[in-house]
């Protein structure tokens, strides 16, 4: 099965644990992330506004560029006016369309009407839905990606359970439930 390209909106890059899980799963070969400079700029403004230091932010952006050098979509600007979704998120849909990316992962579902996105051949998914899909496709490697991320967190040390707790949203916690159940089953405890 070919590895799918997935466009990550800024809102799914801002929460550090969600970003970490997504990027670790990508690093493990589960999908190829895409974004554009506008997404990265929005991501940076939000984190700087939340107190991340400019030095840390620069390191993070450099790390993302180094690990995913082909992730940044360019030359999408000519499509922005043709997109019919919310004006502040047209750049996301335009970049996804230009790069022929079939899935956008975002927390802002209302800004991406299904009919408009379907017209362009793009599916919009909440991160919980996307993570569930990855889990259903390959539970073992998805669990390994979450474990890998939790294991890397040292200050403070963080458990898989704590990571899963941060991946629960109001009315959207299927992934955390699925992974907990899978991890607790006798066949996966080894």
Q: Calculate the average pLDDT of the chain.
A: 94
- Name the pTM for this structure: 0.94
Region 41-70: what's the mean pLDDT? 97
* 8 A C-beta contact, residue 125 and residue 104: yes
CA distance linking residue 190 with residue 174, whole number of Å: 24
Q: What's the CA gap between 95 and 106, in Å, rounded?
A: 14
> Band of the pLDDT at 184, cuts 50, 70, 90?
confident
189 pLDDT more than 70: no
User: Averaged over 100-127, what is the pLDDT?
Assistant: 97
- Rounded Cα distance between 154 and 26, Å, is 21
Element (H, E) at 32: strand 32-36
Assign a CATH topology to domain 5-127. Rossmann fold (3.40.50)
Give the pLDDT confidence score for residue 175 in this predicted structure.
95
- Could you tell me the pLDDT band of residue 24, with boundaries at 50, 70 and 90? very high
What is the domain partition of the chain in residue ranges?
A: 5-127, 130-189
The 3-state secondary structure of 66-118 reads: HHCCCCEECCCHHHHHHCCCCHHHHHHHHHHHHCCCCEEECCCHHHCCHHHHH
Question: Which pLDDT does position 122 carry in this prediction?
Answer: 98
Nearest 5°: the CA angle 167, 133, 69 is 80
The larger pLDDT score, comparing residue 156 to residue 92, is at: 92
Given the DSSP bridges, would you call strands 103-105 and 72-73 parallel, antiparallel or unpaired?
Answer: unpaired
Instruction: Tell me which DSSP letter residue 12 carries.
Output: H
pLDDT at 56 exceeding the cut of 90: yes
Main-chain phi, psi angles of 182, to 5 degrees: -65, -45
Average pLDDT over residues 145-166: 90
d(CA 60, CA 74): 20
Band of residue 173 on the pLDDT scale cut at 50, 70, 90:
confident
Q: Per-residue pLDDT for 190 more than 70? A: no
Between residues 1 and 107, the one the model is more confident about: 107
């Amino acid at each position: 099965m070919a590895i799918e390209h997935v466009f990550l909106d800024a809102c799914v890059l801002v929460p550090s644990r969600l970003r970490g899980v997504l990027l670790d799963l990508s690093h493990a070969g589960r999908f190829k992330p895409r974004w554009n400079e506008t997404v990265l700029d929005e991501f940076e403004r939000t984190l700087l506004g939340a107190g991340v230091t400019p030095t840390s932010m620069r390191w993070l952006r450099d790390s993302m560029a180094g690990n995913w050098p082909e992730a940044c979509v360019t030359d999408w600007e000519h499509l922005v006016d043709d997109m019919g979704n919310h004006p502040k998120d047209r750049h996301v849909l335009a970049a996804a369309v230009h790069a022929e990316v079939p899935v956008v992962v975002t927390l802002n579902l209302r800004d991406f009407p299904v009919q408009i996105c379907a017209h362009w051949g793009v599916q919009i998914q909440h991160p919980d839905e996307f993570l569930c899909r990855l889990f259903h496709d390959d539970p073992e490697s998805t669990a390994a990606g979450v474990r890998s991320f939790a294991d890397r967190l040292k200050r403070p040390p963080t458990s898989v359970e704590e990571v899963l707790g941060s991946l629960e949203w109001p009315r959207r916690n299927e992934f955390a439930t699925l992974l907990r159940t899978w991890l607790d089953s006798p066949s996966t405890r080894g």
